[in-house]
Structure 1
Amino acid sequence: MSNAGARSSLDLHTLECFDTLVREGSVSRAADRMGMSQSSASEVLARLRDRFSDPLLVRTREGMVPTRRAQDLLPRVRTAIEQLRGLQDGADRFDPLSAQEQFRITTSDYMQLLLMPRLAGIVRTQAPRCTLDIVPIPIQRTELALETAEIDLTIAYHPQPPAGLRRSPLLRDRLVFIARRDHPEMEKGVDAAQFANLPQVSVAPSGLNYFGSLVDSALAAQGLQRRIAFTSPQFMLSAHLVSHSDMVLSLPRLAAIALAELFPVQVIELPFTTRPIDIALYWHERAHHAPAHLWLRDTVRAALPPGTEVMVH
């Protein structure tokens, strides 16, 4: 292949292949993510190696790893991808009043309680022909679901944010706990040891006990361990159980306040300190410059209740 021919191959698709190949460190996985055959992905890699006069990916005992040249090129390639996508998307304009977009969001019922009443109202007013769908995707699948455009946006607490997604901080919350209003143990207050001995409901969306782990870590530092009596994937069901029992539930403060308006429960400060809960927006690179998606992300921020500790992005 001539040098001129190799240079002409650096279009958006080829750059996206470079990004995916280096990120995945596997031709077969990159082919799956790009919706290509393995032979086609191998051909692109061969052209890229010729274009940059470098193997880009080399085989080791741990599998394929990027060369130093590939690592150096990767930030510039990603910048070029953004710029090219911006040129493509720049021709489009999003008019909320006339748009007929279907926005698909996945998030826990915690954030649904907090955001959806206001968000649905804004969308109905500003974009009356658009649809807002809450899609039940397990948090373990959200990165793939965003990459394949199964969903448009994730609103979540990720202790270890996926490296392959765009991320923007949304809000900061902290843990409290709820108990039924006439709970006999709450009249005099409880210390950490008394709290740990109370029967507990634990909420674990998608089977992952992210919030409970913050409580467990804080208690473990004092040599204490909770007594879990019931585990549920949903805050609504958990609050309902708490309101009809002597069990208590640790949860984010904003969710607790919302649930206290629906169930006869009281919101109580934890007798120990836990790490804060940082909620963020996550989306795929392909949606980064899309006008409709820019509007959606801005609208989610506008739907935050007054008094929310908003994170700067």
Structure 2
Amino acid sequence: MNLHRIDLNLFAVFDAIYTAGSLTKAADVLCITQPAVSNSLARLREMLNDPLFVRTGHSMTPTPVAQNIIGPAREALGLLRKSVQESHIFDPLKAEKTYSFATRDLLEATIMPRLLALLQKSAPKISVTNYEVSRKNIVSAMASGNLDFYADASSFSDQYLCKQKLAQDRFVVIARKNHPDLTNGMSLEAFLRLGHINVSQRRTGPGPIEVALDKLGEKRTVVMRGQHFLTVPSAVFKTELIACLPYHLAKHYDLSLYEMPFELPLLEYFLYWHVSSDLDDAHIWMREQIAQMVKAYHPT
């Protein structure tokens, strides 16, 4: 017998016939036509090479083969029904699950600690992972089930992704304390004169700060260009370089913070997930926890 060709629906029909003792009554129970029940029984008879039921008067009497398999068949159908039902019930206190994230160091440093603190109380058996996934591979990683969430500070559009705005932040300028060139604060002239550390995932190309400066007809001096926000504070602490960092990260370091000396749009953080997970209870629960956690995440 080729198990790959077995239709589980046939055993549901088999169970209904066995219980009702009639094709007509089985059809009523299953809400299908009697010819459909007869067709399913014929297919099951051919697959198992046994008549399964013989007509005795107005009822269908099960054969010994049918009597032998009804128990295991009902048990299997019961397990399947239970699995389907439980797949829609998510209990965070009992659930053992790992959620996979792809976020940059900025969000890992600011959001993950809060999320873990929350999970320790409400979902002690749930764990999270965060690893780098190339932007071009985000959709395929989600579609394959290898990635649950992608979070970034830039908008990302795809027909297979759902999106939710998480929070917003603002850039500030950081410098070491008692910086000799900043005794009078952060003016545009000082901002342009000093060397900068720029953070970008791209090797080349303008970022939001360059775009804003270009509108003013100005350009800053970038001494170092790197990929990670978390490496910047230590470099600023040891040098006379300055850098622009999101406020909610910069405020944690023993450095001087200055408001930007020109207008700059707010940073916006977005959470993405695959459409196939949009109605999943476990996925919805995690999205709710993240949304609740970032409510206090304001740009001021």
TM range (shorter): 0.5 to 0.7
Aligned mates of 2:246, 2:204 — CA distance in 1: 13
Higher-Rg member (1/2): 2
**Structure-2 change in CA distance of 1:267 and 1:161 (3 Å):** farther
TM-score, length basis structure 2: 0.67
1:255 aligns with 2:245: no
Query: CA-to-partner distance for each residue in 1:229-259, whole Å, 9 max, x for gaps?
Result: 111211111111111111111122212123x
Unaligned runs of at least 5 residues, structure 2: 1-83
Aligned mates of 2:135, 2:173 — CA distance in 1: 23
Aligned mates of 2:147, 2:199 — CA distance in 1: 24
Aligned length: 217
1:185 CA drift (Å): 1.7
Corresponding residue SS for 2:294: coil
User: What one-letter code is carried by the residue in structure 2 that aligns with 1:133?
Assistant: T
After TM superposition, the structure 1 = structure 2 runs for residues 1-313 of structure 1, keeping only pairs within 5 Å, are 92-205=88-201, 207=202, 213-258=207-252, 260=253, 264-304=254-294, 306=296, 308=298
**Structure-2 change in CA distance of 1:309 and 1:238 (3 Å):** closer
User: What one-letter code is carried by the residue in structure 2 that aligns with 1:103?
Assistant: Y
1:159 CA drift (Å): 3.9
Question: Does the aligned pair in 2 maintain the 1:115–1:305 contact within 8 Å?
Answer: no
Aligned mates of 2:269, 2:285 — CA distance in 1: 19
1:292 CA drift (Å): 0.8
**Structure-2 change in CA distance of 1:294 and 1:159 (3 Å):** closer
Query: CA-to-partner distance for each residue in 1:93-136, whole Å, 9 max, x for gaps?
Result: 11011111110011111112211111001112211111111122
Corresponding residue SS for 2:256: strand
Match of 1:47 in 2: none
**Structure-2 change in CA distance of 1:246 and 1:163 (3 Å):** farther
Corresponding residue SS for 2:89: coil
Query: CA-to-partner distance for each residue in 1:256-310, whole Å, 9 max, x for gaps?
Result: 123x2xxx31221010011121111100001101111111111112222735269
Identity rate, percent: 23
User: What one-letter code is carried by the residue in structure 2 that aligns with 1:255?
Assistant: L
1:209 CA drift (Å): 7.5
Q: Please list every run of at least 4 consecutive aligned residues from structure 1 whose deviation after the TM superposition is greater than 3 angstroms.
A: 88-91, 159-164
User: What one-letter code is carried by the residue in structure 2 that aligns with 1:241?
Assistant: A
Aligned mates of 1:123, 1:289 — CA distance in 2: 21
Question: Does the aligned pair in 2 maintain the 1:193–1:224 contact within 8 Å?
Answer: no
Q: Name the Cα RMSD after superposition.
A: 2.3
Corresponding residue SS for 2:296: coil
Aligned mates of 1:199, 1:104 — CA distance in 2: 38
**Structure-2 change in CA distance of 1:142 and 1:217 (3 Å):** same
TM-score, length basis structure 1: 0.64
